[in-house]
Amino acid sequence: MPGTSSGLDLYVGHDLGTGGDKAALVDRQGRVLATAFEPYELFHPAPKVAEQDPEDYWAAVSSTTRAVLDEAGVGAESVKAVGFAGQMLTLVPLDAGGVPTRMAISWMDSRADQEARRLVRRLGGDRVVMALAGAVPSGKDIVCKVAWLRRNEPEVFDRTAAFCDATGYLVARATGELVADHTAAGGTGLLNRKTREWDRLLTTVIRAPVKKLPRILACADVVGGLLEGPASELGLVPGTPVVAGLGDVPAAQVGSGSVLPGDAHICLGTSGWLCVTTDTAKDLGRNGVFSLPAADPSSFAMVGEMETVGECLDWFVDNLGAGELTHATCLSEAAEVAPGCDGLMFLPWMFGERSPVTDTTLRGGFVNLSLDHGRGHLVRAMLEGAALNLRWVLDVVASAGHPCPRLRAIGGGSRSDLWLQTIADVTGRGIDAVSNAQSAGAVGAALTSAIGIGSLPGYAAVRPLASIDRSFEPDPGVAALHGERFEAYRSMWPPMSRLGRRLNR
């Protein structure tokens, strides 16, 4: 909710997601004065293909920046810095002037599966690749997308000066500088996580186009001031400092206050994730769990990302609601169904999966569906399916020494008490819903910009700024029911994986 600032030192943060851009106007106490959201399209012109128009990104950022200033009733001179956070693993190739050379290739896009298989074979198999890079690449990874461009769109590859991500594109548009923040660089698998520079051995072995990789900066480093044209489009003052920014997961890590080792948060958005803050990097490549550099240079973000979480419910409403169904109606009907859904289960692998298994041809569905089940059963099964998948990720991370006894929750899904209680019951963890949960990424980007210009002393100072709105504890009886169902859920992956490879090659 909008608040009243105690001063005029304000910071604008953006969280450029898959469905649209969220902006937040924040003061140095972390209070959110105003928020705004502007949607844009995700295009699926062919199987496995998911693209977006970078111009839509910038138009949304311009609109939301003006909107938060108008809502708060403050002038542009009050904004002391700007921070961008963007969807990770989305490839935005830019020419020397920072202009996109083609549509952005979304993180969801898996057209480069063939390139991923070739890379693994050339390097000697899964074990060798995991030893080198920490995880086996899939067609959704940046290095494979770049290889696909080199093979299939050589003219685009040649015109590209820098392979950036969504955050890098916004920074380039705002400042004219082609850079990558160290969280974005970490997402490529080509970063030396000790030096936080491009890894010479990895880039050589993988044959990455080193000359087309942007220079790496820390997230809070000031890249430059807003150029006059972009400043006018945003409604801000030219010269306003812009920091290098960060990926959406590390931004949420900051915005949720989960910045100290052992802290963990979950996001229930279009996609979803578990993120654990650690002081050392550890990869669990077979389960798609990878350690990214956190925004704080002294820590890491151990991330298990689930490809479709809120997107499953969106799909249900958009395609099966005949234009009359709403999310609120779905959740209300789901609340009338008992836990366990009378035997119905849902597999939330609607566009492949990254964690707890990396499997791009895997697909989801309802299992054990009968004539006794109604719409409320279907919706509750979707909530429980996402929670069961999250429990699997949590078990993987716990086996590596990170038990995550409590989880902070952010994202649009965290508005649902039913979903959060379901997650508590399925995972056996306490859940704390963060205030301004839908804006956590944008708040994290804004606070990173405040750190960048010295208004905050560092990331540890952010933790007390994130307040908890509601808390949920596991119900022991319901947790026992889900414990039995969890084993059945896990047993469904091997046959579904085989079926997916057969049908979706």
The predicted-structure confidence for 84-101, as pLDDT tens digits, reads as follows 999 999 999 999 999 999
pLDDT in tens, 273-309: 999 999 999 899 889 999 999 999 999 999 999 999 9
Average pLDDT score over residue span 129-149? 86
Residue 124 class from Cβ within 10 Å (0-12 exposed, 13-18 middle, 19+ buried)?
A: exposed
pLDDT tops 70 at residue 196: yes
Confidence of residue 503 (pLDDT cuts 50, 70, 90): very high
pLDDT above 90: residue 430: yes
Residue ranges of the domains in the chain? 257-505
Q: Residue 205: its pLDDT value, please?
A: 86
| Residue 400 DSSP label | T
Query: What backbone phi and psi angles, to 5 degrees, belong to 62?
Result: -65, -45
Contact 94, 169 (CB under 8 A): yes
DSSP 8-state assignment for residue 464: G
95 within 8 A of 113, measured Cβ to Cβ: no
Q: Report how far apart, in Å, the C-alpha atoms of 504 and of each of 46, 147, 355 are.
A: 13, 21, 19
Tell me if residue 39 falls in helix, strand or coil: strand
Lowest mean pLDDT among 60-64, 132-136, 406-410: 132-136
pLDDT value at residue 136: 79
In one-letter notation, the amino acid at residue 210 is V
Give the model confidence (pLDDT) of 351-400 as tens digits: 899 999 999 899 999 999 999 999 999 999 999 999 999 999 999 999 99
Question: Is residue 355 classed as helix, strand or coil in its secondary structure?
Answer: coil
Q: Does residue 210 register a pLDDT over 90?
A: yes
pLDDT band at 159 (very low <50, low <70, confident <90, very high): very high
pLDDT of residue 415: 95
Contacts of 137 (CB under 8 A, 6+ apart): 116, 119, 120, 129, 143, 144, 189
Q: Is the pLDDT of residue 198 over 60?
A: yes
With pLDDT > 90 as the criterion, what percentage of the chain qualifies?
88
Average pLDDT of the residues in 118-136:
82
The CATH H-level (homologous superfamily) assignment of domain 257-505 is ATPase, nucleotide binding domain (3.30.420.40)
Amino acid at 172: A
Q: How confident is the model at residue 238 (pLDDT cuts 50, 70, 90)?
A: very high
